[in-house]
């Protein structure tokens, strides 16, 4: 996936010229545009990974009030042996039944689809891209008007949601004490007049520059969007690189002139400050230092994925070594049931499947790609070869 795929049909050149860090953008898209990123089956599968969730990574919010984790979690041992509050599915679903939103934090490395968008944003040099999933229900607002300290790329993957985009914009805020603790009354005064309403449907994209005031409300029975928070490198990061450079020069390691209130002491400090400032200015124009800054920006992204253990041992991946073909799943395929009959629904129609094939078919359509071996391992009771042949003939499975 690339930035061009995310912005399609808008060319990236137009986005950077007219919108990036300048103004919000609502970009409608086809319903299947982000179908590979996440769907309800994927959400349930992620939530079912009980031990990866804690009071920090999974939150429940009802009508703008965050529910204490103790009210939907229990103390348990995490995978790394630490005690944590882990969500109880029944308790979470009780809150959901009352209209509570579910927020799943730090999900950008959990599936290939989720990682694909982050990688595309980072690959375009926009900064470090972290993702949260927001699941909400009609007429229940999770958050009041606010701004974020990073750019927001909201990808609507299920349902519909209306966003209020206000005129107000905080001046490039950062996650620092000077921007924390501002009361809601301050935000209500600062958000300004309504700029426009963005009604996001499945497949739509909303871009909000850092600091732009917004709030949102689910309009359809449900809504799921993934908010990719993109943290760009800033001037303070440049200062950090200068600080690292300074440790290599003795003048910056010397103590500053002691101050005793005398004119001589003040003069010594003035002279020393001028010398240090001069050296910083020289570094800022030094091609070698600027090359280091370029390298820093080129690698300003999160590390995620990238494992190939067989390749590390000098062997080909299992599917390649055996010559077994791999398949990808056509986007936007759903299981359906009518009475005692089952099927897989695509844009081309419904493919009938037997009751014995339902479990395996449901597993297949949640995977980014499969092989006959992976299907047989996941669903031992299925006739893997026959089912793959059937779904391939119906073009539900395509060559990877």
Residue 144 CA to residue 134 CA, distance in Å, equals 14
Question: Looking at residues 66-77, what average pLDDT do you find?
Answer: 93
3-state SS, residue 357: helix
For residue 319, pLDDT beyond 70: no
Q: How long a stretch of residues is the chain?
A: 400
Closest to 370 (Cα-Cα) out of 330, 315, 333: 330
209: Cβ–Cβ under 8 A, 6 or more apart, which residues? 20, 21, 22, 23, 24, 151, 169
Phi, psi of 153 (to 5 degrees): -115, 105
3-state SS, residue 240: helix
Query: Is the alpha carbon torsion for 108, 231, 132, 21 positive or negative?
Result: negative
Domains of the chain, by residue range, sit at 3-231, 235-298, 309-399
For residue 27, pLDDT beyond 80: yes
Question: Looking at residues 43-47, what average pLDDT do you find?
Answer: 94
Lowest-pLDDT choice from 49-63, 244-258, 278-292: 49-63
Burial of 119 (0-12, 13-18, 19+ CB in 10 A): buried
For residue 321, pLDDT beyond 80: no
Question: Looking at residues 288-306, what average pLDDT do you find?
Answer: 90
Q: At what angle do helices 287-298 and 235-246 cross, to 10 degrees?
A: 130
pLDDT in tens, 112-146: 899 999 999 999 999 999 999 999 988 766 678 99
pTM here is 0.76
Q: At what angle do helices 263-285 and 235-246 cross, to 10 degrees?
A: 110
Looking at residue 34, what is its pLDDT? 95
Query: Which is higher by pLDDT, 202 or 382?
Result: 202
Residue 99 CA to residue 354 CA, distance in Å, equals 36
Lowest-pLDDT choice from 14-23, 216-225, 318-327: 318-327
The CATH code of the domain at 3-231 is 2.60.120.650
Distance of CA 235 to the CA centre of its chain: 24
Distance of CA 328 to the CA centre of its chain: 23
For residue 272, pLDDT beyond 80: yes
Looking at residue 397, what is its pLDDT? 92
Residue 364 CA to residue 388 CA, distance in Å, equals 9
CB-CB contact of 134 with 225 (8 Å):
yes
For residue 259, pLDDT beyond 90: yes
pLDDT band at 24 (very low <50, low <70, confident <90, very high): very high
Residue 355 CA to residue 343 CA, distance in Å, equals 9
Residue 99 CA to residue 43 CA, distance in Å, equals 17
3-state SS, residue 261: coil
Query: Which is higher by pLDDT, 393 or 27?
Result: 27
Lowest-pLDDT choice from 12-16, 208-212, 367-371: 367-371
pLDDT in tens, 323-369: 678 888 888 888 888 777 888 988 888 999 988 888 888 889 888 78
Looking at residue 145, what is its pLDDT? 92
Looking at residue 140, what is its pLDDT? 67
Query: Is the alpha carbon torsion for 10, 12, 17, 23 positive or negative?
Result: positive
Q: How far is CA 87 from CA 39, 58, 142, in A?
A: 21, 8, 19
Looking at residue 320, what is its pLDDT? 52
Indicate the average pLDDT of the chain. Answer: 91
Looking at residue 64, what is its pLDDT? 82
User: Across 214-228, 261-275, 345-359, which has the greatest mean pLDDT?
Assistant: 261-275
């Amino acid at each position: 996936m690339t930035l061009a795929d995310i912005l399609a049909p808008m060319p990236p050149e137009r986005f950077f010229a007219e919108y990036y860090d300048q103004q919000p953008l609502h970009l409608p898209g086809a319903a299947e545009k982000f179908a590979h990123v996440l769907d309800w089956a994927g959400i349930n599968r992620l939530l079912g990974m009980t031990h990866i969730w804690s009071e920090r990574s999974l939150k429940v919010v009802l009508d703008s009030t965050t529910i204490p984790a103790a009210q939907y979690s229990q103390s348990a041992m995490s995978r790394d042996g630490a005690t944590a509050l882990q969500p109880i599915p029944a308790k979470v679903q009780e809150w959901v039944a009352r209209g509570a939103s579910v927020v799943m934090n730090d999900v950008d490395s959990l599936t290939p689809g989720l990682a694909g968008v982050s990688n595309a944003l980072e690959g375009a040099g926009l900064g470090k891209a972290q993702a949260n999933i927001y699941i909400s229900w009609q007429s229940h607002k999770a958050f009041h008007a606010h701004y974020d300290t990073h750019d927001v790329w909201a990808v609507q993957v299920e349902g519909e949601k209306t966003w209020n985009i206000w005129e107000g914009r905080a001046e490039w805020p950062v996650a620092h004490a000077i921007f924390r603790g501002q009361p809601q009354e301050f935000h209500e005064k600062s958000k300004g007049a309504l700029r426009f309403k963005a009604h996001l449907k499945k497949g739509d994209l909303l871009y909000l520059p850092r600091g732009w005031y917004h709030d949102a409300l689910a309009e359809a029975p449900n809504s799921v969007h993934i908010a990719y928070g993109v943290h760009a490198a800033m001037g303070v990061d440049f200062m950090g690189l200068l600080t690292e450079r300074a440790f290599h020069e003795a003048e910056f390691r010397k103590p500053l002139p002691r101050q005793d209130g005398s004119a001589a002491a003040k003069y010594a400090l003035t002279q020393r400050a001028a010398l240090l400032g001069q050296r910083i200015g020289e570094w800022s124009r030094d091609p070698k230092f600027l090359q280091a800054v370029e390298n820093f920006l080129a690698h300003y992204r999160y590390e995620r994925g990238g494992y190939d253990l067989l390749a590390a041992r000098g062997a080909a991946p299992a599917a390649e070594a055996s010559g077994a073909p791999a398949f990808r799943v056509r986007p936007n395929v759903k299981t359906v049931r009518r009475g005692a009959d089952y099927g897989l629904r695509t844009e081309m129609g419904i493919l009938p499947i037997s009751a014995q094939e339902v479990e395996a078919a449901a597993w297949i359509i949640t995977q980014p790609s499969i092989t006959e071996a992976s299907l047989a391992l996941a669903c031992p009771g299925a006739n893997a070869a026959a089912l793959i042949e059937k779904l391939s003939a119906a073009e539900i499975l395509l060559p990877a």
